[in-house]
Structures are given as structure tokens and as C-alpha cells.
Structure 1
Amino acid sequence: MSQPITLPGAEAVVKSARTYVIDLIERVIWAFLGAAAAVALAAGPADCSPYRSGRALARPGWPQS
């Protein structure tokens, strides 16, 4: 009446698990890189510009170089 359940071999399970882990690692890395790029884009180029003058950061009454 009931048919026996057939399970895949151990080799197929190991290959599937390996594929899952590799895919998960790729997704985590790409998510991190995407988030880092979004933060860098949101920060804007003015924050890391080598041509920034220190005058905008000077406080009133402090000596300027």
C-alpha cells in the first residue's frame, strides 16, 4: 500500500550543502559590499576630498594655522 521513501545519496547531500554554504557566503559578502558602497555614496565626496580647507572646521576664537 505505501511505497518506501527514497532518499538521495550522501554525496548528493554533501554537494547540496556545499553549494548552499558557498551561496550564503557570496550573499553575505555582496550584501556587505553593497552596504559599504551605499554608506560611501551617502557620505559624499566632500568628506574625503584632499582639497578641503580647515577654515570650515575652525571654531570661533581658536587660532587658525
Structure 2
Amino acid sequence: MLGIAAAVLFFIAFLINAADISTNDVFASTNVMLIGLMLLALHVAGIGSGLRTGSSRRR
């Protein structure tokens, strides 16, 4: 799920940069890209990957 959110943020950052849209400093394309990179790093680390299918306890 976080990977999809990162892809959406990368697309928004691309549109801001390609269309040369002037935004305030908070929504600059670099900041949106950095938030996307943070979400991608969390996705790769396994956070937000959904429910686990297997049991974590063994008998």
C-alpha cells in the first residue's frame, strides 16, 4: 500500500516539475519527491505491507 502511495506522489512531483507549476515551498516538487522516497523506504522495510498470512508462533 505504501508503494502505491509513493508512486502517486512521484507522479504528482513529476507533474509539478514538468508543467512548471509554481507552488509554495511546502508543495514543491522536491518535497513531494522526498515524501515519496520516505514512503518507498517504509514499503521496502516491510511497514504497511498488509496482514500476515502465516502464523508467527510454532509449536
Q: TM-score when scaled to structure 2?
A: 0.37
Structure richer in helix, relative to its length: 1
Q: TM-score when scaled to structure 1?
A: 0.35
With a CA cutoff of 8 Å and minimum separation of 6, indicate the structure with the bigger relative contact order: 2
Bigger radius of gyration, 1 or 2? 1
